[in-house]
Amino acid sequence: MSRYFAPLALVVIGLALYASCFTHPFVWDDEEQILANNSITSLSNIPEFFLGSTFNSGGSANLTGLYYKPILTTSYALLYSFFGTNPFGYHVFQVLLHISNALLLFYFLRNFFQDRGRCFLITLIFLIHPIQVESVVYIAGLQEPLFMFFGLLTLNLFSFANGKFLFLAGPLLLLSLLSKETGLIFLVLVPLYAYLFAHKGQIFSLFSSLGALIIYLFLRFGLAQLPIAEHNLTPINRLSLLERLPTIPKIITHYFGHFFVPYNLSISEHWVVSSFNWSDFFLPLIICLALAYATFLLIWWQEKHKIRNLYFLAWFVLGLGLHLHFIPLDFTVSDRWFYLPIIGLTAFLVSFLPAQKIFGFKDRYLILYLYLVFLLISSLTRIEKWQSGLTLYQNDIRLSPNSFDLTNNLGVELLRHGQIDEAQQYFLRSTQLAPYWWINFNNLGVTLENAGNASAAAEAYQIAIDNGNYYLAYENYARLLINNNQLSEAAKFLTTALKQFPNNVTLQEFAQYVQQIE
């Protein structure tokens, strides 16, 4: 394999694979983080991104949410300054970032493997695997390639910089951490690599990681005052740690299964293992134990490269371990959470392949070539599902029929397509699945109001307000009161609403209108 073949092939394959997504629209959280997020419309608001979370606040003081990702929001603001609300530019940027990560990964792997074939194979799987589609096509998933970019860049500094640019390690690690909390893993991987393989900058790498962590903690807890909190929305998030533990074996086997045979991928999966039965607990547990034993045998068998293999194993275990719900997360499993672990797993497995010309097109590797073709076709099929919110949700709801947020989002798309009665059924279903949520009740209120049932709509809006102080529910309820000429009640309600959302333009306009009429 020539020196320039692999990088050029990665660029060409990446662009060819993901080019079709450039015309895809905004979906799901894209709307709250970009379309409805007035904060990103001006670069002068960038300092505010370090004072809150990532979601549109609806007119309250700071951006809302549970996570601290100011670099992600800054990236949206920069993209908005160039492309506005045209998703094309966002998609192009994200695809190029994913391809850049593949190139950085390829050059980093050259430190472990003498033959370019294995480096190229690992990177190619990272580039084209269907489980990566969500991280690349979903604009709200930009955080994945973003934090990975800064982390891989830091690792390459210790690989090739010969000490000249190591002073950038701390800032880059901080940028990774401020892009997504998963960047925490690079605070371990970088010093570990420096100690085991780089043989330079070991102490500097430790101080860089420690400095990045200290600054992050100050920014999040001191400046933004954003604590680690739980939203208690998803089924697994509402369980205690002890109650979540039986689900872990099935989560692990889920990711392994989707790595080897990526089928039935879904944007939203909410399931828990609540009983110790054979299919959901004992079989996954046996598989996990068998995988652990097989891993031990592989490392023992290839004693010569034990340190290298243990490093990639640590990469995988750290990446996966952060998503096993020792700290509860938004979903039970998610494709985009495998964006980092897939590197460790792939590199660990490929390291056991013979080094002789993997891409020499010999019969012994026929199964491998067919597998790569299968991955490409599967990725193209999955990318096609993302061509609109309606096609994505209709496909994924078949796989995740009990997903309360997916059910709600399908209702939204049906409502936008004028299928009001069908949309209402999905909203009702969502409220049954998650009676503690607020967005589904607000959307249900919209369909009830549209059907002329004002009293039921008002009740739904009030539940949405009680459940989560949802700004759209405040807007819809205020509008409903005004349309029904309940002006005195609307005035009182708007006074309360504007205390919650003092910068909400819609509520301000309603209040001015009521004052003029009265």
How far apart CA 92 and CA 444 sit, in angstroms, is 35
pLDDT of residue 160: 81
Decide: helix, strand or coil at residue 55: strand
DSSP 64: B
Q: Quick check: helix, strand or coil at residue 259?
A: helix
With contact defined as beta carbons under 8 Å apart, do 491 and 498 qualify? no
Instruction: Enumerate residues 6+ apart whose C-beta is below 8 A from 516.
Output: none
- Please report how many Cα atoms fall inside a 13 Å half-sphere around the Cα of residue 148, on the Cβ side: 32
- Residue 118, phi then psi, degrees to nearest 5: -70, -35
Q: Alpha-carbon torsion 443, 448, 451, 455, what sign?
A: negative
- CA 33, CA 80: separation in Å to the nearest integer? 11
Q: Return d(Cα 483, Cα 476) in angstroms, integer.
A: 10
Amino acid at 234: T
Q: Which residues contact 48 (CB under 8 A, 6 or more apart)?
A: 39, 62, 63
Of 5, 193, 7, the C-alpha closest to 100 is: 7
Element (H, E) at 189: helix 186-193
Rounded distance between C-alpha atoms, residue 387 and residue 22, angstroms? 9
Largest CA distance in the chain: 84
Q: Residue 326, Cβ neighbours under 10 Å: how many? A: 12
Domains plus CATH for the chain?
234-261+270-355 (no CATH), 397-517 (1.25.40.10)
Contact between 518 and 495 under an 8 Å Cβ cutoff? The reply is no
Q: Which of 173, 169, 171, 193 is nearest to 183 (CA)?
A: 173
Let me know: does 296 contact 348? Beta carbons within 8 Å: no
DSSP 297-343: HHHHHTGGGHHHHHHHHHHHHHHHHTTSSSS--SSSB-GGGGTTHHH
Contact status, residue 327 vs residue 190, Cβ threshold 8 Å: no
Give the distance, in angstroms, between the CA of residue 17 and the centroid of all CA atoms in the same chain.
Answer: 20
Q: Give me the pLDDT at residue 58, please.
A: 76
For residue 333, the cross-strand partners are 269
Rounded to whole angstroms, how far apart are CA atoms 91 and 141? 11
pLDDT at 362: 59
Please report the pLDDT score of residue 210 as a whole number: 97
| φ/ψ (deg, to 5) at 55 | -100, 150
Give the C-alpha separation, 330 to 34, whole Å. Answer: 20
How far apart are alpha carbons 396 and 402 in whole angstroms?
Answer: 11
Give dist(CA 381, CA 198) in Å, integer: 41
Q: How far apart are CA 64 and CA 48, in angstroms?
A: 12
44/252 Cα distance (integer angstroms): 43
Average pLDDT across each block of 10 residues of the chain; the chain has 518 residues. List them in order: 85 97 96 90 92 78 81 96 96 98 97 88 97 98 98 92 82 97 97 88 93 96 85 89 96 97 94 94 97 93 88 97 92 97 96 70 74 96 97 96 96 95 97 96 96 95 94 95 92 92 91 84
Output the pLDDT for position 163: 67
Which pLDDT value is given to residue 431? 97
276 close to 282: Cβ distance less than 8 angstroms: yes
